[in-house]
Every structure is written in structure tokens, then in C-alpha cells.
Amino acid sequence: MKLLVTGGAGYIGSHTVLELIQGGHEVIVADNLVNSSRESLKRIQKITGKTVELREINVCDSAAMAQIFSEHHIDAVIHFAGLKAVGESTEKPLEYYHNNIVSTLSLLAAMEEAGVAKLIFSSSATVYGDPAELPLTENSQTGVGITNPYGQTKYMIEQILQDVARADDSWQITILRYFNPVGAHPSGLIGEDPGGIPNNLMPFVAQVAVGKRSKLTIHGADYDTPDGTCIRDYIHVIDLAQGHLAALEHIQAGCEVYNLGTGKGTSVFEVIKAFEQACGHTIPYEVGPRRSGDAVVNYASAEKASQQLGWRAEKDIAAACADAWHWQSQNPNGYEEETK
Ligand SMILES: NC(=O)c1ccc[n+]([C@@H]2O[C@H](COP(=O)([O-])OP(=O)(O)OC[C@H]3O[C@@H](n4cnc5c(N)ncnc54)[C@H](O)[C@@H]3O)[C@@H](O)[C@H]2O)c1
């Protein structure tokens, strides 16, 4: 297939582009590099020997999007492009609503115009808000208790996609709700390269491990969990990337939703321990106050994806930490400032 991948230079996008190329697909990336580097695509070239065409555009720019579809016969689109920092979204709600929603509308219009029907969208477990039941299934309640504009954009886009598919049955849309993506490609050549202070646990731990930051702050260790820290479903980014290939193979008319998670919860202390094993030394940390808006426990039911897509996560937290450490220790400054 010839695929358009929006946000393909970013963390999950770059790993998926790599898997797609290795799976024999042709890929065009549309990315404005607002939170990524073209170096990720050069590294993919290094691994695969294949060049990835980068269109450095804002997906909100409908004319630029239409141009891509007029130049290429695109079979399907994977839409990763979006702003994703939860904390920042509460400070800059307009920027988040505009970027994430307008980019999706612009993409859908360009696809409709070009007659491209297949779309895979990156949603998030944040649409479940504060989980009312565990494990979270695709039928669990969504849209209630979402505490930040980022999560709202994902919920709103899901509604838009459901409406679009309801109105015209030629659309084939798959919504993938990611749990907590972690790890890196085992080559150590591509990985997560957060600008500024990392928002998520694993890249923060990795930066402490490599000496870029002095210590980790744990946001609360007095929760009602076995070790007092929050529990999440960490999914290796390679498993996640392969989930997109499975979704692409099984895409069908309408709008289907799948969780991409492992089905297993891991606590903050367990992540720290696994990372210490991977890097061979201790990770200094302190326990700080709880962070408002954090769900206590959150993990997926991964059954629907297993039954309908034939996909299951295969890598565990130890593999994710080993690969994250390999990436971080080989690239202590990520893709380097000058290439951003
Ligand atoms: N990483 C996570 O924890 C996580 C969890 C659930 C869902 N997601 C979603 O998965 C997707 C990919 O996440 P990621 O972790 O790879 O993030 P990322 O920031 O590394 O990648 C997003 C990419 O989109 C690009 N982008 C953003 N807005 C754009 C625009 N208007 N036009 C063109 N390019 C644009 C950025 O430059 C970046 O390359 C996002 O939609 C994110 O919300 C991520």
C-alpha cells in the first residue's frame, strides 16, 4: 500500500513508519516538525536503506493536504499528527483544540475530495476519563471525567469520526486507543525525544539514568495500590507500531475502536526497578504530592484487538526499559538540537 502518515517524524509515528517500510509498504510523511526532528526519518533510512518522503507541512493547511493527494495515489492514511502534552494543553487550550481538531477536519476533507476512505486514528486511553471499571474495554464509558483539553480533543475527534462514518458508509475508519507507549526500536537508532521536561514517566526515568536530570519526582506514593504508586498499562512502541499494521490489514467499512495495551498494570516503583535492572545502577527519586487529574489505576482489556485483529503485545516492561536505555545511552541528547 501507499500510505500517508501524518506526524510520522514523531515518537510513535517514526516507529510505525519503520515497521510499515519493513512490511513492504510505501510511506509519505506529512509533519511540520513542531515536536520532532527530520533526523528520525534519516535514521529510518539508515535502518531500512529506503528514503521516506517528508512533506514539511501543517496538516491544518487544507491546500497543502489536497496537493499531496493530487500528486500521489494514497491507499490509506494513519493520522498521528497532534499536540500531546497533557499539562501544556491546560495552559494553551486554544492551541490544542485548534491544532488537533482542525488538522483532523482538514485531513478528512482532503481524503473525501480524493476518494481515500481508509483512516487509522491515534486516540488515547485518556478518553476513558477516570475509569469506572477495570480492565477498560472498548465499551467502557468515555467522555466523562476527562480532566484536560488534550483528552477532550481525542474524545471530540472520536465523535467526529463516528459521525463521518455514519453519514457515508464508504468510509473505513479505525480508532486505536493507545495506553502508555514506552521503549524504543532495539537498534537504539530511533526512540522518544521529548523537547524540554518530559511529561511521561519512562523518558523522565531514562534522562535521570543517563545523568541529564538529577532525580525523579514520583507524584504520590500513598494511593490505594499495592505499593502506593499509580498503575498504568505500558506498551512497547514496537508492539504498538505493529498494531497499526494489523489494523490496516483488517480495516473495514464503518468506524471500529480498539484498545492497544498489554492488559497488564505496572506501578511507578515497578517501572523504576525494571529500569534500574536495564541500566545497571539505581535511579534517584523523591516522593512528591499527588498530581491532580491522575487516574489511580488504568489498564486495558486487549481482547478485542486479539480476537479481531490477531494482534497481541509481545514485549514486557523489561524489554521496554532495555530498549529505552539503549536509545537514551546512545543518544543522550536525543536527535541533537542542531537537527531540530
Ligand atoms: N505518546 C503517548 O503517550 C500517546 C498516548 C496516546 C495517544 N497518543 C497520540 O499518538 C499520536 C502520536 O504521539 P507521539 O507520542 O508520537 O507524539 P509526537 O509529538 O512525538 O508526534 C506527533 C507528531 O505530529 C507532528 N504534528 C503535530 N501537529 C501537527 C500539525 N498540525 N501538522 C503536522 N504535523 C504535526 C509533530 O511534529 C510530531 O512529529 C498523537 O496523536 C498522540 O496524541 C500518544
With cut-offs at 50, 70 and 90, classify the pLDDT of residue 328: very high
Confidence of residue 196 (pLDDT cuts 50, 70, 90): confident
Distance of alpha carbon 339 from alpha carbon 54, whole angstroms: 15
Average pLDDT over residues 253-260: 98
Count of domains forming the chain: 1
Residue nearest to atom 20 of ligand 1 (CA): 10
- Quick check: 338 pLDDT over 60? no
What's the pLDDT score for residue 241? 98
Q: Quick check: pTM over 0.95? A: yes
| pLDDT tens profile 105-145 | 999 999 999 999 999 999 999 999 988 899 999 999 999 99
List the grid coordinates of 219: 507524584
| Residues 200-243: tens digit of each pLDDT | 999 999 999 999 999 999 999 999 999 999 999 999 999 999 99
What radius of gyration, in Å, describes the C-alpha atoms of the chain? Answer: 19
pLDDT confidence band for 199 (50 / 70 / 90): confident
Can you give the residue range of the structural domain that contains 212? Answer: 2-339
pLDDT tens, residue by residue, 55-84: 999 999 999 999 999 999 999 999 999 999
Calculate how far, in angstroms, residue 140's C-alpha sits from the geometric centre of ligand 1: 24
Determine which one of 150, 223, 299, 335 is catalytic: 150
Question: What three-state secondary structure class fits 194?
Answer: coil
Average pLDDT on 7-16 reads 98
Residue nearest to atom 36 of ligand 1 (CA): 35
pLDDT at 192 over 50: yes
Calculate how far, in angstroms, residue 321's C-alpha sits from the geometric centre of ligand 1.
Answer: 21
**Which residue's CA is the closest to the ligand 1 atom numbered 6?**
124
Angle (CA) 229 230 232, round 5°: 135
Catalytic (active site) residue 258: no
Instruction: Output the average pLDDT for the chain.
Output: 96
Q: Is the dihedral of CA 119, 125, 130, 134 positive or negative?
A: positive
State which amino acid sits at residue 59.
Answer: V
In angstroms, the Cα distances linking 180 to 197, 233, 234 are: 18, 6, 5
pLDDT-derived band at 292, boundaries 50, 70, 90: confident
14: domain CATH number is: 3.40.50.720
Cα–Cα distance, 321 to 280 (Å, whole number) = 11
What percent of the chain shows pLDDT beyond 90?
94
Q: How confident is the model at residue 337 (pLDDT cuts 50, 70, 90)?
A: low
